[in-house]
Structure 1
Amino acid sequence: MIVVWASFFIWTVFNSLFLIPLPKRPQIATRPLVSVLVPLRNEERNVVRLVRSLKQLTYESVEFLLLDDQSTDRTYELLLKETKGDNRFQIRKGKPLADGWVGKVHACHQLAKQAKGAYLFFIDADVELKPMVIEQLLAVATTYDAKLVTGFPSFHPQSLPLVGKWLVPLQHFFILFHLPLYLANYTNMRATTAAHGACLFFERAAYEAIGGHASVKQEIVEDVMIARRMKSCGYRVILANVSTHIVCYMYETNKEVWSGFIKNVYVGLNRSPLFVMILTIFYGTFYVAPLFIAPFAITKGWTYALPLVIVIMQKAYVEWKTERSISTCYWMPLSVAAFIVLMYASMRAKRYEWKGRTYT
């Protein structure tokens, strides 16, 4: 049985070789206009950090469009204050949510209609960008002839509550372990598609050709669905390792963590009870059980501790690969147990609530 855990570790290392890195010294032949598009709804705690992050970007041919999506806090006021005097910024008030649309998708649609760039860079309001990220994404897009470059940000560990420390870092683990990255990056297979709304870097012409965000207007997991649509239309999608240059301050409370994952997990599993059951058996057997097997090492031999050691090593490798602190690798069995509970809670939920809006 030890061979099984060892094979999981080896596969993760091999699979990670096909995660496209961002170039350290990007070479760009031309510098087309890039529109950085940010929907914000009740994001007053993130506005200052976001705007300061955008201001220090080194790419010069850029415009920033920030849309206040019907916020009930000081988001709009802070946006005006923080961007005053910088003509690269355009602050917009979002229209009321139209029937049949998911809130964030509706906001992104409005932003795209007002943008002028040859490339559209959608990000979330809770991210912090490193200075050269646009040059790097543009270099990947041109090198690989990709019409969409996406990736999963790193997550600021100090800003996460306890449940967040358990669940949020699992996103990178799932990608490097479960998603065959060669197929994701070198084929147009829809099933091998992942994307993150904090980093969607589109070539505008391709984005418009597939119908833009209007084509996924009812999708809660709109980032994955629009990436799948790009592939279905024959456009190349690249999943890159952006964790070194995009940091996400995702949640501040355990309630936010739970609500955020509840709305995405079951939908992301194609609302399949069978898939939930299979994952429960798999993760319960190979990632939770080692925690209970390990104590037998005291009386029956050190080999009983090996499964737990390998599980922790596998998680530590993922965190190292995505340049995170490896401190959360020790939480792995608890993280997986929490994820199993989360799957069933998400499956049983009749509606999902997020930022004052309800979805079914």
Structure 2
Amino acid sequence: MEFAHIALALALMPVIFGIINLRNMARVTGTPGAGTKVSILIPARNEQANIATCLDAALASTGCEVEVVVMDDGSTDRTAEIVRAYAARDGRVRLVAAPSLPPGWTGKVHACARLAEAATGTHFLFIDADVRLAPHAAAAMAAHAAEKNIALISGVPRQEMRTIGEGLTVPFINFLLICYLPFGGRAIQRKPSLAAACGQLILVERRAYEGTGGHTTIKGVLHDAIALARLFRERGHDTEIVDGAPLAVCRMYDGFAHAWGGFIKNAREGMATPIGLPIWTVLLAGAHLWPWALLPGWEAAITVLLMFALRAAVTIRTGEPWWTVPLHPLTVLVALAIQWTALVRSALGLKAGWKGRAYTATKGA
């Protein structure tokens, strides 16, 4: 039963990290001081299905002054038309068109850089077009940033999932962040390699953003959120992950194929490296998959129960659907399959594609 002991030992790490991070992840509240203005910045490419609800939520923000700037990034649908209609009746909304994508840039990073140039706020809140902010979100994040002197704050919105394919993929984001990242991205630890952020919801202080060069400094990356958080820490600024579930809601993908493509796009700048992925495979498979082959041994049974209990705790805290919990072993299996596929594709020289563009993943420029 030596293998079962190893599996149980591998399971203890995420349990310990999970308990600590669930206990200490901040839930932000409050309103910022006078003079605070949050620019809500939305890159949008063919988002006609989402942009109206996104704008409605952003414009319902309370607690501080806001403006909403949307960049139409080469849309071929009604995205720009919808935003123009909002701008005509609410002066807080502006539509800007993205210039042609320069060589060496990825699309979303370029759009975010240009949005920051157009913004007039003291803080920039970058959100995706499928995100719906809670009314207090912008003010609470800006207040937390000011109170704690944190230059970048991010959180994972509460994830809506309506299909099995989404349930097999999306929950791995929160599980990995909470159960495998030491300190959970909190500002108590300033090491750049332990920085984290979610691109769906990132607030930055304007002066710090401009001082680091912002998205211009990371123009070639696909996973812009992590790259931005690491950049801020490298330049001496604090960054922090907070509880995003009360701040926003997002339906990230609309099925398995969409989710697979989205996670493949970002994998090569995360886990899917020749050195890192074998280690991650041992850590994840050893704790979450291996014990199933060792049942009915008591060590394996305890490990399985621990992993389900941990996943349930993360699910409750993040507001994810309860029915995704029984899928947990398959979620880990699918996550590893995505990472290994991304690594093999990279070795073969295949590019990652997203919204009609193809990219070769880089570490930035």
* TM-score, normalisation: structure 1: 0.92
- Structure 2 residue matching 1:9: 3-state secondary structure: helix
* Change in 2 beyond 3 A, CA 1:31/1:243: farther
Gaps of 5+ in 1: none
Please say which of residues 5-14 and 258-267 is displaced more in the overlay.
5-14
Q: CA deviation at 1:154?
A: 1.7
Q: Which residue of 1 aligns with 2:281?
A: 280
Given that 2:31 and 2:63 are in contact with CA atoms closer than 8 Å, whether structure 1 keeps it comes out as: no
Identity of aligned residues (%): 28
Please say which of residues 281-290 and 197-206 is displaced more in the overlay.
281-290
Q: Which residue of 2 aligns with 1:251?
A: 253
Q: CA deviation at 1:290?
A: 2.8
1:220-231 aligned at under 5 Å gives the runs 220-231=222-233
Q: CA deviation at 1:27?
A: 4.5
How far apart, CA to CA, are the structure 1 residues paired with 2:340 and 2:39?
39
How far apart, CA to CA, are the structure 2 residues paired with 1:155 and 1:83?
28
Of 91, 102, 107, the residue aligned with 1:98 is: 102
Q: Which residue of 1 aligns with 2:363?
A: none
Q: Which residue of 1 aligns with 2:196?
A: 194
* Change in 2 beyond 3 A, CA 1:109/1:11: closer
Spell out, residue by residue over 1:77-96, the C-alpha distance to the aligned partner (whole angstroms, 9 max, x if none): 22223443111100112111
Given that 1:19 and 1:181 are in contact with CA atoms closer than 8 Å, whether structure 2 keeps it comes out as: no
Given that 1:206 and 1:235 are in contact with CA atoms closer than 8 Å, whether structure 2 keeps it comes out as: yes
Given that 1:183 and 1:192 are in contact with CA atoms closer than 8 Å, whether structure 2 keeps it comes out as: yes
Q: Which residue of 2 aligns with 1:128?
A: 132
Of 308, 314, 318, the residue aligned with 2:310 is: 314
- Structure 2 residue matching 1:21: 3-state secondary structure: coil
Please say which of residues 142-151 and 82-91 is displaced more in the overlay.
82-91
Q: CA deviation at 1:99?
A: 1.2
Q: CA deviation at 1:3?
A: 5.3
**RMSD, matched Cα:** 1.9
Amino acid at match of 2:145: A
Amino acid at match of 1:89: V
Does residue 108 of structure 1 match 2:109?
Answer: no
- Structure 2 residue matching 1:167: 3-state secondary structure: coil
How far apart, CA to CA, are the structure 2 residues paired with 1:149 and 1:89?
23
Does residue 71 of structure 1 match 2:75?
Answer: yes
- Structure 2 residue matching 1:128: 3-state secondary structure: strand
Spell out, residue by residue over 1:197-248, the C-alpha distance to the aligned partner (whole angstroms, 9 max, x if none): 1111111011000112111111111111111111111111111111221111
Amino acid at match of 1:277: P
Amino acid at match of 1:22: V
Does residue 351 of structure 1 match 2:323?
Answer: no
- Structure 2 residue matching 1:84: 3-state secondary structure: helix
How far apart, CA to CA, are the structure 2 residues paired with 1:219 and 1:262?
14
Amino acid at match of 2:356: G
- Structure 1 residue matching 2:289: 3-state secondary structure: helix
Residue correspondences, number: 350
Given that 1:39 and 1:124 are in contact with CA atoms closer than 8 Å, whether structure 2 keeps it comes out as: yes
- Structure 2 residue matching 1:91: 3-state secondary structure: strand
Q: CA deviation at 1:249?
A: 1.3
Given that 1:16 and 1:181 are in contact with CA atoms closer than 8 Å, whether structure 2 keeps it comes out as: no
Does residue 87 of structure 1 match 2:61?
Answer: no
